Amino acid sequence: MRERWDGQPLWARGVLAVYVIGFVEGACVHLLDLARDGVHAYAAFPQVPLRVFFVGLAVLDPLVAVRVGLVRRDGVRLAGAVTVADVLANWWGNRHWLQDDPARLVPLAPLTLFGLFVVASLVPLCRTVAGPANEPRTVPSAAGP
């Protein structure tokens, strides 16, 4: 694993570290919510699919953190998908506060900024992590006539 990290440019190591920290923090939040309130931790959301998704983040967030920590391209892609889904689900589930009490949306700011960071860095990071030192390339075999 150390070779994978050492094989990345400095900027990519910084971005990977931010990803890992962000997903570990997210995992802690969701695990603490579940430890405190059980499967009803997200009962404030009337949409059952959102509740299921937020409970599922207790598994998805650590999975992403591990895959990104292993400097795997699939981890970077999964980070993008999970982050976009998480940001959209939070904004959708809290959209009524836009009219009722916009100040209650302030806690969504860090998640939204993290989401923008992940989306903005996703393509360059995927390209860098996919370098030849990181993933074996298959060489097509020469087929005889």
Chain segment 48-93, per-residue pLDDT in tens:
999 999 999 999 999 999 999 999 999 999 999 999 999 999 999 8
Residue span of the structural domain in which 60 resides = 2-129
Instruction: Give domain status of residue 140, yes or no.
Output: no
**Minimal CA–CA distance to 67: which of 56, 81, 78?**
78
Count of domains observed in the chain:
1
Given pLDDT bands bounded at 50, 70 and 90, which one contains residue 142? low
Instruction: Give domain status of residue 142, yes or no.
Output: no
According to the model, what pLDDT value does residue 128 have?
95
Given pLDDT bands bounded at 50, 70 and 90, which one contains residue 138? very low
The span from the CA of 111 to the CA of 83, in Å, is 9
According to the model, what pLDDT value does residue 107 have?
86
Instruction: Give domain status of residue 135, yes or no.
Output: no
Instruction: Give domain status of residue 81, yes or no.
Output: yes
Contacts of 101 (CB under 8 A, 6+ apart): none
Instruction: Give domain status of residue 138, yes or no.
Output: no
The span from the CA of 107 to the CA of 101, in Å, is 13
Instruction: Give domain status of residue 67, yes or no.
Output: yes
The span from the CA of 130 to the CA of 86, in Å, is 25
Task: Using CB atoms within 10 Å of the CB of residue 115, give its burial: 0 to 12 exposed, 13 to 18 middle, 19+ buried.
Answer: buried
According to the model, what pLDDT value does residue 9 have?
96
- What is the average pLDDT value for the chain, to the nearest integer? 89
Instruction: Give domain status of residue 115, yes or no.
Output: yes
**Minimal CA–CA distance to 73: which of 134, 25, 27?**
134
Separation in Å, CA 136 to CA 73, 113, 129, 131, 143: 12, 34, 12, 9, 21
Between 43 and 141, the more confident residue is: 43
Instruction: Give domain status of residue 141, yes or no.
Output: no
